Chains A and B, each alone.
Chain A
Amino acid sequence: MKRLTVIVGLVCSGLVVLAALVSLVWTPYNPRRVDPGHKYAPLSWTHLLGTDMQGMDTLSRLLVGAQTTLVVGVLAVAIAAIVGVPLGIFVGMGHRFVGEVVARGMDILFALPALLLAILLAAATGASVGTATIAIGVSTIPIFVRMTRAATLTIMNQDYILAAQVSGTPTPVIAVRHVLPNIAPLLGVQAAASFSMAILAEAGLSYLGLSAPPTTPTWGRMLKDANIFIAPTQAVIPGIAIAVAVLGFNMLGDGLRDYLDPRLKEVR
Chain B
Amino acid sequence: MTLLAIDDLSVDFGRHHRPALDHVSLLVDAGQRLGLVGASGSGKTVLASAVMGLLPDNAHLTGTVRFQGRDLTRLPDAAFSRLRGQDLTMVFQEPMTALDPTMKVGRQASEVRRLHTRCSAAQARAKVDEIFTRVGLDPVSQIADAYPHELSGGQRQRVVIAMAVMNNPSLVICDEPTTALDAMVQATVLALLVEELDRVDAACLFISHDLDVVSSMCDDVAVIHGGRIVETGGVDEVLDRPRHPYTQGLVATARIDAVGPGQRLPVIDDFSSTSDLVQAASEQCDTPAPTRQDR
> In their complex, do chains A and B touch, with some C-beta pair under 8 Å?
yes
Which residue numbers of A lie inside 8 Å of B, CB to CB? 262, 265, 267-268
Distance between B57 CB and nearest chain A CB, rounded to angstroms? 11
| B295/A265 in contact, CB under 8 A | yes
| A268/B41 in contact, CB under 8 A | yes
Distance between A263 CB and nearest chain B CB, rounded to angstroms? 12
Q: Interface residues of B: mostly helix, strand, loop or mixed?
A: loop
| Bound-complex Cα distance A267 to B13 (A) | 9
| B295/A267 in contact, CB under 8 A | no
Of the four ranges (under 10, 10 to 19, 20 to 34, 35 or more), the interface on chain B belongs to under 10
Considering only CB atoms, which chain B residue lies closest to A266 in the complex? B293
Tell me, yes or no, whether B15 is within 8 Å of chain A by CB: no
Which residue numbers of B lie inside 8 Å of A, CB to CB? 13, 17, 41, 295
Instruction: Provide the residues of chain B in CB contact with A265, threshold 8 Å.
Output: 295
Distance between B42 CB and nearest chain A CB, rounded to angstroms? 12
Instruction: Provide the residues of chain B in CB contact with A262, threshold 8 Å.
Output: 295
> What are 5 A-B pairs with beta-carbon distances under 8 A?
A262-B295, A265-B295, A267-B13, A267-B17, A268-B41
Distance between A226 CB and nearest chain B CB, rounded to angstroms? 47
| Bound-complex Cα distance A77 to B281 (A) | 50
Distance between B205 CB and nearest chain A CB, rounded to angstroms? 22
Instruction: Provide the residues of chain B in CB contact with A267, threshold 8 Å.
Output: 13, 17
Considering only CB atoms, which chain A residue lies closest to B16 in the complex? A267
| Bound-complex Cα distance A267 to B12 (A) | 12
Distance between A259 CB and nearest chain B CB, rounded to angstroms? 12
Instruction: Provide the residues of chain A in CB contact with B41, threshold 8 Å.
Output: 268
Distance between B96 CB and nearest chain A CB, rounded to angstroms? 15
| Bound-complex Cα distance A31 to B90 (A) | 69
Instruction: Provide the residues of chain A in CB contact with B13, threshold 8 Å.
Output: 267
| Bound-complex Cα distance A267 to B56 (A) | 13
Instruction: Provide the residues of chain A in CB contact with B17, threshold 8 Å.
Output: 267
Considering only CB atoms, which chain A residue lies closest to B20 in the complex? A268
Considering only CB atoms, which chain B residue lies closest to A265 in the complex? B295
| Bound-complex Cα distance A110 to B13 (A) | 46
| Bound-complex Cα distance A268 to B14 (A) | 11
Considering only CB atoms, which chain B residue lies closest to A267 in the complex? B17
Distance between B261 CB and nearest chain A CB, rounded to angstroms? 28
Considering only CB atoms, which chain A residue lies closest to B14 in the complex? A267
Distance between A267 CB and nearest chain B CB, rounded to angstroms? 6
